[in-house]
Amino acid sequence: MGQIYNSKKLMDDIARLQSSHDLIELLSGIQQSMAIYESGIQEVLTKLEILQRDARFSKHNPIESIKSRVKSPMSILEKMHRKGFPISLESIKTNLNDIAGIRVICPFIEDIYTVADMLTRQDDLKVLEKKDYIQNPKPNGYRSYHMILKMPVRFLGNTSETAALPCLEVQIRTIAMDFWASLEHQIHYKASHEVPDCVVGELRECADIISQTDQRMQRLSKQIRCMEDKKD
Ligand code: 0O2
């Protein structure tokens, strides 16, 4: 069966915090941390934009589009609860790597690895973790390439000092994988009710069809590029 999100239990946890005045302190702590995550996003976006600009001189741009977001305080609390972590500012900082998130959408599967390699080669970014859900899809069919990065963030007026290193999650996927993940997210991922097995099964089937199509598109693109190279 699909995942059930126990919102009542979360509300109970939050209510317990509220009664001890911790909630207001926690929310304002989360809010104060947001600037550092915004800066981290900005630094990685700049690197990705440079890659896009460089690609103008080659025949192929590996990036179709880029989205970014900082997780909302409610979504942070929901994930802490879902993962069973204690709800405190320290615990959020230690346990959540995806408060800042960037999603890079690529035309073809190979482009995903080009973007991942480019990020890995940056001296000022530390790659803490790579999860290849393309080679190893999740049981529900989810495919994407995830990287957890740690990076220095410098603030104006304090350039000599490097602030605390925030983590940032980069999700890299094709247009087709993104199409599936966005719709599956709506249908299933954070559903407050149980999703029947037949729906879970069909979503998995759709993911497999999409993956086969991605591979065909990759082959077609290679075929055309090969023909073009022979012409030059
Ligand atoms: P949101 O609201 O999109 O940010 P782990 O770090 O291994 O303990 P975690 O944090 O679940 O476990 O890591 P994982 O598996 O790499 O997933 C992180 C994010 O990937 C999720 O963030 C989703 O954005 C996306 N994701 C993972 N699995 C699925 C899936 O099955 N379907 C869809 N649509 N997206 C998925 P959040 O915070 O859960 O959600």
Q: For this structure, is 110 an active site residue?
A: no
Q: Which of 10, 75, 142 to mutate to test the pocket of ligand 1 (most atoms within 8 A of CB)?
A: 142
Which atom, in ligand 1's list, is nearest to the CA of 141? 31
Position 161 scores a pLDDT of 44
Question: Which token pair is 204?
Answer: 């998995």
pLDDT per residue as tens digits for the range 92-117: 888 999 999 999 999 999 999 999 99
Output 23 or 119, whichever has higher pLDDT.
119
Q: Is 146 in the pocket of ligand 1 (CB under 6 A)?
A: yes
Q: Which of 74, 98, 179 to mutate to test the pocket of ligand 1 (most atoms within 8 A of CB)?
A: 98
Beta-bridge partners for 174: 106
CA distance 27 to 24: 5
CA distance 5 to 79: 10
With a cut of 50, say whether residue 225 has pLDDT above it.
Answer: yes
CA distance 45 to 102: 8
CA distance 71 to 33: 11
Q: Which one is catalytic: 64, 169, 194, 202?
A: 169
DSSP secondary structure of 82-106: HHT---SHHHHHHH-S-SEEEEEEE
Give the rounded percent of residues in the chain with a pLDDT score beyond 90.
Answer: 45
Q: Is 189 in the pocket of ligand 1 (CB under 6 A)?
A: yes
With a cut of 80, say whether residue 176 has pLDDT above it.
Answer: yes
- What is the mean predicted confidence (pLDDT) over 16-29? 69
Q: Is 67 in the pocket of ligand 1 (CB under 6 A)?
A: no
CA distance 74 to 11: 11
CA distance 107 to 124: 27
Which atom, in ligand 1's list, is nearest to the CA of 182? 34
Q: Is 98 in the pocket of ligand 1 (CB under 6 A)?
A: yes
pLDDT per residue as tens digits for the range 37-72: 898 899 899 999 988 888 777 778 999 999 999 998
CA distance 33 to 215: 41
